[in-house]
Amino acid sequence: MVVESWCEPWLHLLLVPELKKVHWFRLHQTLGSPEAILGAAAAEICEIAQVGEETARAVLRGPGRECLEKEKQLIEQTGADLYSFEDERFPENLRRCSAPPMVLFVHGAILPDDRYAVVVVGSRTMTQYGNLACRRLVAELAGAGLTIVSGMAHGVDSIAHETALRHGGRTLAVLACGLGARDSSHRLEMRQRIAEQGAVISEFPMTAMSERYHFPTRNHTMAALGLGTIVVEAAEKSGALITAEKALEENREVFAVPGDVTRQTSRGTNALIRAGAMLARDGQDILVELRPQLSGILSERATAMSADEQSPAEGSLSDTARTVLARVRNEPVHLDLLHEQLAESGLDFGSLSAALLELEMKGLVRHLPGNLYTTGSAR
């Protein structure tokens, strides 16, 4: 992209290392724009941002023209896009968090429907059990239309991205380094694939390397992007647990996959469950718990079905959902009656609710007032 003039004040602030996210956000809430921040007096910046005089002077002094021009050149060379906090493309989930980034560098595109996202994190040294659990969860969630957010690290993160891509879903990779930082050929190839089916995102300057102090910041951004965070495998001291902590701080749901009590990589997830995190046995557990937050996408898909007058493909349905769909007709049927009819086959109420939500997410079934369900498009 060609870096337009409006980007410069944002880059000016980003490239001042003394200015932390919390400081910038205080300034923006009070002064309203980067231009207004740069036009303020040092004493005003000190008072609003609660920083010292040296930091205020650094903000006004800026990074220097040479540094700014180099950043602009790298953005253009790599083809990155720049989403400022004021950009309408800036993710709404992130905009509403306690300390949003001032800018995002993006390869690919962040779409409005990416607000229906879940974060999947876990151990870099996952077990075979963790691998299988992650693939199963992500396949079901991506198949239901949710965007998968992760950090592109080895282990659980990479499996989450790969599975979402394989099932035709969208995925966002949030990096702890700049988009222009050196990376391995394998990771660069994965980044390209993710950008084609989602986005690779960074809030750090283009050439910033992955520093230890970047990861808590990155983890907070990841947690804020999703409706909930799922921890697949994690030891007692794990970055994945930091992401879960950040999710709680932002009033997001936290899920954990139960693990073998004898394994180190399960101690963190089992501790989360003991502390109150929701149990994640499969994707349906997550879909059921997030149902209130997913009402928007269900309504949008019902409207789209009405406009197109087409039935979506049923090929990716679970066996349980297929069984339930066979019992739902154009004439509305009550949830209790469905349960009675299907209880004979051993289907419990929780599994029935999960299957109905899966069918709603795919636009195959509509939920009507009074706990009635029907097939066909909304009229």
Residue ranges and CATH numbers for the domains of the chain are 1-78 (1.10.150), 112-289 (3.40.50.450), 296-375 (1.10.10.10)
In which residue ranges of the chain is pLDDT below 70? Answer: 1-2, 296-316, 376-379
**Interhelix angle 214-225/239-249, nearest 10 degrees:** 50
Query: What is the pLDDT, as a whole number, of residue 115?
Result: 94
Strand 228-231, strand 171-174: pairing: unpaired
Q: Determine the Cα–Cα distance for residues 305 and 212; give it in Å rounded to an integer.
A: 47
Q: Determine the Cα–Cα distance for residues 257 and 138; give it in Å rounded to an integer.
A: 12
pLDDT in tens, 66-97: 999 999 999 999 999 999 999 999 999 999 99
Taking each continuous run of H as one helix and of E as one strand, the counts in the chain are: 18, 12
Q: Determine the Cα–Cα distance for residues 244 and 223; give it in Å rounded to an integer.
A: 7
Q: Which two tokens stand for residue 308?
A: 């197109």
Q: How far apart are the first and last CA of the chain?
A: 43
Residue 233 is classified by DSSP as S
List the 117-121 sheet strands across, edge first. Answer: 81-84, 103-108, 198-202, 171-174, 147-150, 117-121, 228-231, 253-256, 278-279
Torsion of CA 98, 104, 110, 113, to 10 degrees: 10
In which element (H, E) is residue 358 found? Answer: helix 349-361
The amino acid at residue 115 is: R
Query: What is the pLDDT, as a whole number, of residue 314?
Result: 59
Query: What is the pLDDT, as a whole number, of residue 307?
Result: 45
Q: Determine the Cα–Cα distance for residues 212 and 210; give it in Å rounded to an integer.
A: 7
Q: Determine the Cα–Cα distance for residues 10 and 16; give it in Å rounded to an integer.
A: 10
Q: Name residue 172's beta-bridge partners.
A: 149, 199
Residue 280 CB partners (closer than 8 Å, separation 6+): 137, 230, 255, 256, 257, 286
The 3-state DSSP class for residue 81 equals strand
Q: Which two tokens stand for residue 323?
A: 């069984």
Query: What is the pLDDT, as a whole number, of residue 367?
Result: 80
Q: Which two tokens stand for residue 364?
A: 């195959």
Q: Name residue 198's beta-bridge partners.
A: 171
Q: Determine the Cα–Cα distance for residues 189 and 169; give it in Å rounded to an integer.
A: 18
